[in-house]
Amino acid sequence: MKLPIYLDYAATTPVDPRVAEKLMQFLTMDGCFGNPASRSHKFGWQAEEAVEIARAQIAELVNADPREIVFTSGATESNNLAIKGAAQFYHKKGKHLITAKTEHKAVLDTMRSLEREGFEVTYLDVEASGLVDLDKLTAAIRPDTTVISIMFVNNEIGVIQDIAAIGELCRSKGIIFHVDAAQATGKVDIDLETLKVDLMSFSGHKTYGPKGIGALYVRRKPRIRLEAQTHGGGHERGMRSGTLATHQIVAMGEAFRIAKEEMHAERERVAVLRDRLLDGIKDIEQVFLNGDAVQRVPGITNVSFNYVEGESLIMALKDIAVSSGSACTSASLEPSYVLRALGLTDELAHSSIRFSIGRYTTEEQIDHTIKIVHDAIGKLRDMSPLWEMYKDGVDLGSVAWVAH
């Protein structure tokens, strides 16, 4: 078996070979390299046609109109354009925005930036399950609330928010609803004909497409307007100027086409692997699944191994590529803000690992992962003073720790 085993599909996915094949046809002199905005010759027309096919493929996955799709450089840009664009365009209606504490930084930091422009933002607490409580969201709405942004699938814990219900609420109050769906495409069914969502962000590279490409869905009926954040040649109906990256767009289209075709079979296959993984580690003591146990995508599994520190666990798991809920690897010793928002103790947040399974994960890889996890936890707990105290019946909460 080739090591390390990749179990970090939520960070990024490899490009599907079928997608890579397509992408390469749009680069060289022999290929379709033209500028889709060139109206005066065949090179441009061909590129434009390829872009429009891709736009339709993306729209099809989420049951939208191709004219509602705006290409961007990725979900981060889509989130920026959606939230800033809508907040600024409708600022005369109100200056209050709502999001949740477990959103991606691309949403949270965009909100922070708007606060500096004079907007007010409510960062909603989530339940211990990671889900947004509809009543609490309702209570947070003010007469001057203009935009609510809630993600579809959480990138760290994989829980699925009730987008349908939140959409109904927003629509009934005349509030624009933005959804970051970077982790949702190809994983959950998205029907924008029925969902009352006004803006939705997509990413290419979370769905077996290339990095550097994304899209924003902008509803036409009722029409949502945005203040452009990138100015220039007026591409993408003035909402996002800049020459379209034909090769990446075509690749994202192909990736989303494949996602639509294979989503249901893939979801089942991934769920079987996820169950196998959970089954394999369930006999380890003091293991906790983070986030709602039911309302979640099968691809993302976040677990805390109590009394084991996250970064040393990552080191012990060097043959598997996973990510840790502890940001100890950076200069700060902060545990994941998402896990903290769920109410996890610092210890449990520090001890968490996200396993994300995808298209190329095999049963053999999962079995090997289970073995590595058992060995690592055994070794680190033998070394852990906290584990020793737990085994001796010491209540760790009663210890007077010397913080440093």
Partner 1 sequence: MAYSTKVIDHYENPRNVGSFAKDDPTIATGMVGAPACGDVMKLQLKINDQGIIEDAKFKTYGCGSAIASSSLVTEWVKGKSIDEAALIKNTDIAQELALPPVKIHCSILAEDAIKAAIADYKQRHGN
Residue 287 interacting with partner 1 (CB under 8 A): no
Candidates 49-57, 67-75, 128-136, 307-315; binding stretch for partner 1 (CB under 8 A): 307-315
Task: Return the closest-CA partner of residue 103 out of 154, 166, 178.
Answer: 154
Pick from 17, 118, 143, 385 the residue near partner 1 by CB under 8 A.
Answer: 385
Is the distance from CB of 146 to CB of 87 less than 8 angstroms?
A: yes
- Residues 367, 353: Cα–Cα separation, whole Å: 17
Is the distance from CB of 356 to CB of 7 less than 8 angstroms?
A: yes
Pick from 85, 310, 325, 358 the residue near partner 1 by CB under 8 A.
Answer: 310
Residues 322-351 that bind partner 1 (CB under 8 A): 326, 328-331, 333, 335, 345-347, 350
Pick from 202, 307, 373, 377 the residue near partner 1 by CB under 8 A.
Answer: 307
Candidates 167-175, 261-269, 270-278, 386-394; binding stretch for partner 1 (CB under 8 A): 386-394
Residue 391, both tokens:
């085994």
Nearer Cβ to partner 1 (34/335): 335
> For residue 157, how far is the Cα from the chain centroid?
10
Candidates 239-247, 275-283, 289-297, 304-312; binding stretch for partner 1 (CB under 8 A): 304-312
Catalytic residue annotation: 328
Residue 403 interacting with partner 1 (CB under 8 A): yes
Instruction: Print the binding letters for residues 183-202 with partner 1: x by CB under 8 A, - otherwise.
Output: --------------------
Q: How many residues bind partner 1 (CB under 8 A)?
A: 30
Helix (H, G, I), strand (E, B) or coil at 79: helix
Residue 315, both tokens:
């080191």
Considering the complex, what minimum distance in angstroms separates the CB of residue 153 from partner 1? Answer: 28
Question: What value, to the nearest 5°, has the Cα angle with vertex 258 and ends 75 and 9?
Answer: 50
Residues 212-271 that bind partner 1 (CB under 8 A): none
Q: Where do we find the tokens 């089942």?
A: 268
CA distances from 323 to 13, 279, 349 (A): 14, 20, 12
Pick from 248, 312, 323, 356 the residue near partner 1 by CB under 8 A.
Answer: 312
CA distances from 203 to 45, 58, 142, 364 (A): 26, 11, 31, 29
Task: Return the closest-CA partner of residue 172 out of 140, 141, 133.
Answer: 141
Pick from 311, 367, 370, 374 the residue near partner 1 by CB under 8 A.
Answer: 311
In this structure, how many other beta carbons lie within 10 angstroms of the beta carbon of residue 4? 14
Nearer Cβ to partner 1 (29/331): 331
Considering the complex, what minimum distance in angstroms separates the CB of residue 337 from partner 1? Answer: 15
Type of residue at 302:
N
Q: Where do we find the tokens 């209540």?
A: 395
Residue 65 interacting with partner 1 (CB under 8 A): no
Considering the complex, what minimum distance in angstroms separates the CB of residue 312 from partner 1? Answer: 5
Q: Where do we find the tokens 């907040």?
A: 87
Which stretches of the chain bind partner 1, using CB under 8 A?
307-312, 315, 326, 328-331, 333, 335, 345-347, 350, 382-388, 396, 401-404
